Amino acid sequence: MFSYMINNFANNLPIYLMRIPAILLSLTVHETAHGWVASKLGDPTAKNQGRLSLNPLKHLDPVGTIMMLLFGFGWAKPVPIDVRYFKDKRRGMALTALAGPVSNLLLAFIGIFIYMIAAKNLLAPLLSGNTFVYVILLFLQVFYSLNLYLAVFNLMPIPPLDGSRVLFVLLPERYYFGIMKYERYIMLIMMLLLFTGILSRPLSLIVSAIEKGMRTVIGLLPFL
């Protein structure tokens, strides 16, 4: 298993190198979106702690970043949220939680849009062996795919992912905080499912469906 991972990493080294800037941008925008929405709803916690920043170092979680690099699924350091500042705690929590994945869906849409335009207008140079064009298109694929995976993964109702915060809206508080007590164990189980590939397959199917939908919408534009 370990030797397979090493060989896979070596064989796909260009992809992993492209993931690094894509991860830095995607995770940074994701967490900044959480903090920005929380701030607009009256919670200054993220702003006071310097998390309304596009500096990746303020947001990266070591384990989550490595997971993103190796598997395409991962997370950043959660932005601190104090629901006591929200006029409506449940609504405020839900909007703040959804801001991150929505920002990644928007980045993915923009990435697919640029890719489809570039692929159409730059296809001839690509077929003639233009390496620079090939690298651009490949990076765009890595970028929008990573953002789709990040959005879908974080919407899972598993602590500490954003989907678990949405549970705060749907469940009575005693049940919600009862589940959150087991956050560490739930995360270990989730990581095991990712390593074994059991979780990756259904998430990949969802990502593919969303990508297909975005491509269909963009394809309706008259200039494509």
The residues assigned a catalytic role are: 31
Which residues lie below 8 Å from residue 59, measured CB to CB, with a gap of 6+?
27, 28, 30, 31, 32, 51, 53, 76, 77, 79
Q: How far is residue 205's CA from residue 186's CA, in Å, rounded to a whole number?
A: 23
Q: Are 146 and 22 in contact (CB under 8 A)?
A: yes
3-state secondary structure of 90: helix
Q: How far is residue 43's CA from residue 92's CA, in Å, rounded to a whole number?
A: 9
Q: How far is residue 101's CA from residue 30's CA, in Å, rounded to a whole number?
A: 7
> What is the longest distance spanned by two Cα atoms in the chain?
63
N- to C-terminal Cα separation, the chain: 44
